[in-house]
Copies of this chain bind each other. A is one copy, B any other.
Amino acid sequence: MKKLINAPEDVLTDALAGFAAAHPELTVDLEQRVIHRTGRPATPKVALVSGGGSGHEPLHAGFVGPGMLDAACPGEVFTSPVPDQLLAAARAVHSGAGVLFVVKNYTGDVLNFELAAELAEEEGIEVRTILVNDDVAVEDSTWTAGRRGTGATVMVEKCAGALAERGAPLDAVAALGTRVNAASRSFAIALTAATTPAAGKPGFDLPEGEIEVGVGIHGEPGRRREPLRPAAELAAEVVDTILADHTLTAGDEVIALLNGLGATPLLELYVLYGTVHDHLAARGITIARSLVGTYVTSLDMAGFSLTLTKADPELLDLWDAPATTPALRRP
């Protein structure tokens, strides 16, 4: 597999330098590997810090900015950020109202964020944590106890970020983020495996004509392998799989994220989205807001994920609130 890199061991350093050049409105601490907003808020506000392995871009650095995250900490590719890095982020953005960690449920991430929270608390920085675990595919996985965290991270970071921006206190922002996660379910299908720079070859073997149903964003195995079918069948099955695990009923509204895993053309995502929309409508469920695009990736994996978040007036209001980040801007 061909990669546009210099050396596998330099990918993160090089990408961070490029990110810093492309986004002068943000501060990039190249040594600590923290991307954060520039300057402190005029009045203290809850600071949202997220992070995780690289290779899922634009998650998380692409969501740093007014209305979403205050800081993001990228680890090496598919590797958790380290506690010192997370602590440096908390220090950089703490303005006196506490820090909220948004953590995708992978064992390494959970442990390192926990350690960082302890270190921050020792310094007098109050910390709360939201654990994102929205992937209904499997209960435990290669690097996960419980469900994996995927697309709901975008929903949590957008809605909790908006509430923090409005000056809500730490416990309220944490409760809101936890509520968004609980209202969200995701499921993914892969057509190809991702190739990490270090490995240089696909992470798993997926024959031509087969798909991995329920794949994780690091290529973790899903529920089964089966032959590729028409997009409408796959999209309908993904919707049904999510609904079987969700409390959604006729009359409900959702926020939908139809997400490309990295190498899927936008044209194909729109093909899928049409079925997602119609299939939900046939069950009396209305998509009140949507995102169709590439937001939570697995490097160059071809495939897609769907995330459905049960909406209510408060969540829609937060979803619509202003955000100015590299990868997501509202209104």
Contacts and interface: CB of A to CB of B under 8 A. Distances in A.
Interface string A1-16: 1111111000100111
A39 interface: no
A97 interface: no
Interface in A129-174: none
A294 B292 contact: no
Contacts of A54: 267
Contacts of A324: 331
B264 A300 contact: yes
Interface string A299-331: 110111000000000000000000010010111
A278 B6 CA distance: 15
A208 interface: yes
B6 A231 contact: yes
Interface string A44-69: 00000000001101100010000000
Contacts of A55: 265, 267
A181 interface: no
Contacts of A234: 4
Interface stretch (A18-26, A99-107, A115-123): A18-26
A4 B263 contact: no
B7 A230 contact: yes
A273 interface: yes
B228 A271 contact: no
A268 interface: yes
A17 interface: yes
Nearest to A292: B22
A87 interface: no
A313 B278 CA distance: 47
Interface string A68-94: 000000000100000000000000000
Given A18-B273, A293-B327, 7 more contacts: A3-B268, A5-B268, A19-B270, A21-B290, A57-B265, A264-B300, A329-B329
21 contacts: A2-B211, A2-B302, A3-B268, A4-B231, A4-B269, A4-B271, A4-B272, A4-B304, A5-B231, A6-B232, A7-B230, A11-B267, A14-B274, A19-B273, A21-B274, A62-B266, A265-B297, A266-B294, A267-B299, A293-B327, A329-B329
